[in-house]
């Protein structure tokens, strides 16, 4: 089974070809990713219109490179998969429309993939992980704890009620004058800072649910930075260290609760899986390792290139769905918002937050 995967939900233009064997093992034949970091750096964040135009300019060439590197022809493809959401709608439209055109011309099935499902299924590509397992998805747009029960079967155990984790890192970096992308810059600065200098709050600590909240912590950093004005380089390092330490403690607490909820509903997880760009943060990886050890489970983090947005994860999710006969028609619609767990509702008491979508 050979599947072409296309990813354009944010600021990476990506395409890949993945092979799935009859016994369910996977192999990446190509995985081409073109980041748009330079295009957005001057604005301190992703500009949707610029991202969509870049996808239009880049995607045909990226697909061509992916097919050439894989050494396969379009006629050999078992299916064409594209991320149909959630994401920036302009970019999603570009990728899904391109996939439809390829599928139509070459008479191949189309698979409209949920970007979050692709992250959720990646460990089955890298290490043939069996169900069920617990996913911690942390990126610029998403922070969730999800029970991965089977292909198409997901239960959201916890989510952010305001900012996503990567979003909070980027906003703290921007308010402190650090370059874009901000997450790695905050981590770098934190390594030379004093995490105990500032008494930042630990959001949601000790709650019985597994939800996250980072907006108040971000505001606390802003308040301290304003109080220090003019701010010195060591102040920035200490603020980053204090912020990161608060995120680590809060994340460890939220994940411990999430794993406990997982076990109550599904029994012991086969693993704790981390995905998304935040999983590249070494300090957070250390905290996740400690949580997994305490829960007596294995921590699995795919290689960094498969944690961030890429075409291989889309192709693999498409292959997993194709193996079950799950394909889509040419009327598949792009979606800016798309819950992984269709039955999920907003956290109790937070009905007006973004977690409701």
The three-state secondary structure class of 275 is strand
The three-state secondary structure class of 202 is coil
Phi, psi values for residue 27, rounded to 5°: -145, 130
Q: Cα(237)–Cα(91) distance, rounded to whole angstroms?
A: 35
Task: Copy the structure tokens of residue 351.
Answer: 């009905």
Cβ–Cβ < 8 Å for 38, 44: no
DSSP of 40-51: HHTTTS--HHHH
Q: Cα(77)–Cα(66) distance, rounded to whole angstroms?
A: 13
pTM value > 0.75: yes
The three-state secondary structure class of 349 is coil
Q: Cα(44)–Cα(182) distance, rounded to whole angstroms?
A: 8
- Parallel/antiparallel/unpaired status of strands 299-300 and 272-275: parallel
Q: Which residue has the tokens 């701010």?
A: 231
* Domain ranges for the chain: 2-127+305-339, 133-300
Q: Domain 2-127+305-339 sits in which CATH superfamily? A: ATPase, nucleotide binding domain (3.30.420.40)
Task: Copy the structure tokens of residue 338.
Answer: 């798309």
Phi, psi values for residue 170, rounded to 5°: -65, -40
Give the sign of the dihedral formed by CA 318, CA 319, CA 320, CA 324. positive
Pick the CATH number of 133-300 from 3.40.470.10, 1.10.8.50, 3.30.365.10, 3.30.420.40: 3.30.420.40
CA-nearest of 202, 172, 204, 206 to 188 is 172
Cβ–Cβ < 8 Å for 310, 32: no
Cβ–Cβ < 8 Å for 254, 205: no
Residues in the chain: 357
Phi, psi values for residue 108, rounded to 5°: -110, 150
- The confidence score (pLDDT) of residue 2 equals 98
Give 10-residue mean pLDDT values along the chain (357 residues): 97 97 95 93 90 97 98 98 97 98 98 96 94 94 94 96 94 94 95 97 96 96 94 98 97 97 96 91 93 96 92 98 97 95 55 38
């Amino acid at each position: 089974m050979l599947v072409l995967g296309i990813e354009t939900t944010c600021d990476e233009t990506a395409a890949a070809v993945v092979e799935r064997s009859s016994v369910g093992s996977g192999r990446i034949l190509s995985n081409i990713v073109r980041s748009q970091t330079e295009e957005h750096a001057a604005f301190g964040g992703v500009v949707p219109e610029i991202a969509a135009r870049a996808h239009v300019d880049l995607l045909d060439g990226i697909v061509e490179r992916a097919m050439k590197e894989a050494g396969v022809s379009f006629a050999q493809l078992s299916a064409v998969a594209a991320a149909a959401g959630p994401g920036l709608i302009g970019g999603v439209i570009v990728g899904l429309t391109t996939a439809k055109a390829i599928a139509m011309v070459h008479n191949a099935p189309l698979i409209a993939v949920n970007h979050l499902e692709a992250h959720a299924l990646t460990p089955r590509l890298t290490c043939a992980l069996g169900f069920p397992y617990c996913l911690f998805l942390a990126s610029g747009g998403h922070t969730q704890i999800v029970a991965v029960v089977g292909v198409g079967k997901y239960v959201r155990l916890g989510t952010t009620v305001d900012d996503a984790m990567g979003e909070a890192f980027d906003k703290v970096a921007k308010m402190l004058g650090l370059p874009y992308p901000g997450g790695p810059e905050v981590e770098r600065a934190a390594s030379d800072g004093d995490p105990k200098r500032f008494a930042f709050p630990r959001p949601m600590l000790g709650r019985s649910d597994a939800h996250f909240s980072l907006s108040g912590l971000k505001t606390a950093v802003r308040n301290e930075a304003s109080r220090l004005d003019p701010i010195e380089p060591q102040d920035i390092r200490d603020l980053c260290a204090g912020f990161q330490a608060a995120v680590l403690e809060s994340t460890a607490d939220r994940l411990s609760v999430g794993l406990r909820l997982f076990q109550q509903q599904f029994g012991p997880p086969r693993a704790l899986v981390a995905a998304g760009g935040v999983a590249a943060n070494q300090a957070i990886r250390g905290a996740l390792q400690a949580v997994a050890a305490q829960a007596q489970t294995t921590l699995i983090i795919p290689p960094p290139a498969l944690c961030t947005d890429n075409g291989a994860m889309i192709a693999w999710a498409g292959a997993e769905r194709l193996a079950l006969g799950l394909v889509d028609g040419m009327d598949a619609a792009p979606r800016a918002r798309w819950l992984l767990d269709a039955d999920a509702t907003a956290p109790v008491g937070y009905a007006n937050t973004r977690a409701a979508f």
